[in-house]
Structure 1
Amino acid sequence: MKSHSRNAYIALFICLIAVFVINAQESNTKQKAVLVTGASSGIGLKITEQLSDRGYFVYAGARKQSDLERLNAMENVQSIKLDVTKWDEINAAVETVKKEGRGLYGLVNNAGVAIFIPLIEVEEEDLDFQLDVNIYGPYRITKAFAPMIIESKGRITTIGSISGILSGQFFGPYSMSKHAMEAYTDALAVEMKKFGVEVNIVEPGNYNSKIVESLVKRMKSNDISYENSLYKEEFEGLISGYGADRSRFKDPSEVSDAVEKALFSDNPKRRYMVVPSEAEGNWTITQIMREMVQLNENQAYKYDRDALIEILDKVLAETE
């Protein structure tokens, strides 16, 4: 009798182990995978770190071999050589993700660059560089990975900027590229809705990143100088004011928090503005309202104040 009991316990123990193994395998296959472009530093690296720490699997796009090796050493991360301006690397990345067999639930279009140049002085080559990375980059990556995102009924998130709403001296090329992502997001969201895919944009203010450092390096490598510029004094003030070192700005963890919500929230929003201070939020919202007033001012069917408030109340109710 004791022997039968012992055998029964052994059989039960084996069954429990089998169940544990099966559950572990199922958990692994259900691990949601996300591709993050421009993952080597700044916001992209913070997103990669946070998502991988949360247990998601991250395909981290980067260009330099040293960055690829560093990213590859992280748990739940597989680095992928990926320049968003090169179709051969994009197509190779698609094949890599397909072969891994995890599918792809999320896409984060984060890779971006900035050039701060007066619009009447910017060289066409420099403007092409700005738009190629910041506009055509998300277009290329999204187009390439769309079939996998549609299959998983996943999410597409683009890192925009409050500079897509605000603009100013020398910010023209950068703001143009980020403003384009506003229209891109809205159109793509409608087009992908029929497939059950959610599309949104995260719009950071000033956080610690290497975007200005990269700008200064590119200026030096391309011998770009403002010695003969009509805006020499203003430009020197801009660079000294911002500087290549943005370490005085907050760590971008608030941005990665917003990205996680955009990707995995049960009720994702179309837009996530993330700013480090009330002032930056005020500037952005005020600019949106200023544009509304300007549009309304001279149009044939102008709304009065009460009608505008009624529209605002209606829109606010839609977002609750």
Structure 2
Amino acid sequence: MRIFGIVLLSITLFISFNGNSAHHGDANSHQKAVLVTGSNSGLGLRMTQELSENGFYVYAGVLHKDEMKAMNAMDNVTAVQFDVRNQAEIDAAVTFVEAQGRGLYGLINNAGINVFGPLLEVPVEQLHYQMDVNVYGPVRVTQAFAPLIIESKGRIVTTGSVAGIITPPIFGAYSMSKHAIEAFNDTLAIEMARFDVSVHVIEPSTYKSNIGVAAKKLMDDANYWTEDTAYPQELAYLLDALTKMDQQPDPAPVGKAALNAMQSNAPKSRYMVTGTVAQADRVLRRQISKMLELNDGQVHQFDRARLIEMLDEEIAKGSKNNPAAK
């Protein structure tokens, strides 16, 4: 039944895309192809625009069929509809991309959701939903498309978040998923190095996107964070903040980070993209404070001089690995 489903989905995808190639270019052109999941809005849309306007051909992964038309209207873009939670749909997308004849140079795991709420009150099924999309989704998609990426000696990028470093209250489920992406990226980078595939993570702060609207809808539909909460002030603050997501900065810098990760001769392992100096300061200070917390009272505790020496050594190592950083 699974094989039949994959074949049926592949046929559907072929029919959907047949006839779009006139303005999308020759499938045998020398453009490098990149798949971007969650491409129809917010960060993913900016990534898709930046890549497609700068020499790349983009397979725009979308969740819903009604999102395909707008993506297909863009030059150098073909929409591919699949759910990162559905293995059969992912496998069908692989079959479709293979049939296009371009290969696949890059993968950007960008699709994600945000489950807000106090950890004491978030139902386990909502926590599972958070992990299923934000963590297991990138794993499924990466495993499925890895042979194509390995063949092209390409690049894999995943959208993390500064929430993978700092962990605000009420963001527990989301931060847990983004902390997991940190481990996913670091391990995958080591494991893919033998295939000459580089691995990168983009870690944005808050930018304009539809994630707030989606999070509010989920809260309303699941009704898991109600007025009898032990955290009423946090609930009121969050509900107000979600209505102002469209006032956040445009995610253009995130799109440029994705382009650099795919295009640069010396791409970075991590791209922290923040809207303000204060945000960057907060994230880096938290990394430093974690180091000090780990060092405090441990059996081999290092003194201040040794910690500064370590920092200087890591700065020198970073400059050696990335001459542009000097």
Asked if these proteins are the same fold (TM beyond 0.5), I'd say yes
Q: 1:124 to 1:213 in 2, by over 3 A?
A: same
Q: Does 1:107 align with 2:107?
A: yes
For 2:290, the aligned partner's letter is E
Q: Counterpart of 1:29 in 2: which secondary structure?
A: coil
**Structure 2 unaligned regions, length at least 5:** 1-24, 320-326
Report the CA distance between 1:249 and its aligned residue: 1.2
1:49 and 1:257 mapped to 2: Cα distance? Answer: 10
* Residue aligning to 1:8: none
* Residue aligning to 2:248: 249
* Residue aligning to 1:271: 270
Identity %: 45
- Give the TM-score, by structure 1 length: 0.90
CA RMSD of aligned residues (A): 1.4
For 2:275, the aligned partner's letter is P
2:243 and 2:297 mapped to 1: Cα distance? Answer: 42
2:170 and 2:252 mapped to 1: Cα distance? Answer: 28
Task: Decide whether the 8 Å contact of 2:64 with 2:82 is kept in 1.
Answer: no
Residue-by-residue CA offset, 1:216-268 (whole Å, 9 max, x unaligned): 0112222334211111222112221x223312211001001011111121011
Residue-by-residue CA offset, 1:177-201 (whole Å, 9 max, x unaligned): 0000001100000000000000010
Residue-by-residue CA offset, 1:114-158 (whole Å, 9 max, x unaligned): 011101111011000000000000000000000000000000000
1:247 and 1:168 mapped to 2: Cα distance? Answer: 21
Q: Does 1:201 align with 2:201?
A: yes
* Residue aligning to 1:13: none
Task: Decide whether the 8 Å contact of 1:213 with 1:245 is kept in 2.
Answer: no
* Residue aligning to 1:160: 160
**Which range is displaced more, 104-113 or 28-37?**
28-37
Larger radius of gyration: 1
Runs of 4+ in 1 over 2 A off after TM superposition: 25-29, 221-225
* Residue aligning to 1:308: 307
- Give the TM-score, by structure 2 length: 0.88
Aligned length: 295
Report the CA distance between 1:34 and its aligned residue: 0.1
2:243 and 2:176 mapped to 1: Cα distance? Answer: 22
* Residue aligning to 2:42: 42
* Residue aligning to 2:260: 261
Task: Decide whether the 8 Å contact of 1:35 with 1:104 is kept in 2.
Answer: yes
* Residue aligning to 2:75: 75
1:54 and 1:61 mapped to 2: Cα distance? Answer: 19
Report the CA distance between 1:28 and its aligned residue: 5.1
Q: Counterpart of 1:247 in 2: which secondary structure?
A: helix
Q: Does 1:122 align with 2:122?
A: yes
Q: Counterpart of 2:201 in 1: which secondary structure?
A: strand
* Residue aligning to 2:224: 224
Pairing 1:207-218 to 2, within 5 Å after superposition:
207-218=207-218
For 2:293, the aligned partner's letter is Q
2:232 and 2:125 mapped to 1: Cα distance? Answer: 21
* Residue aligning to 2:6: none
Q: Counterpart of 1:318 in 2: which secondary structure?
A: helix
1:234 and 1:31 mapped to 2: Cα distance? Answer: 48
Q: Counterpart of 1:199 in 2: which secondary structure?
A: strand
For 1:51, the aligned partner's letter is L
**Structure 1 unaligned regions, length at least 5:** 1-24
Task: Decide whether the 8 Å contact of 2:34 with 2:108 is kept in 1.
Answer: yes
* Residue aligning to 2:144: 144
1:35 and 1:243 mapped to 2: Cα distance? Answer: 29
1:214 and 1:208 mapped to 2: Cα distance? Answer: 13
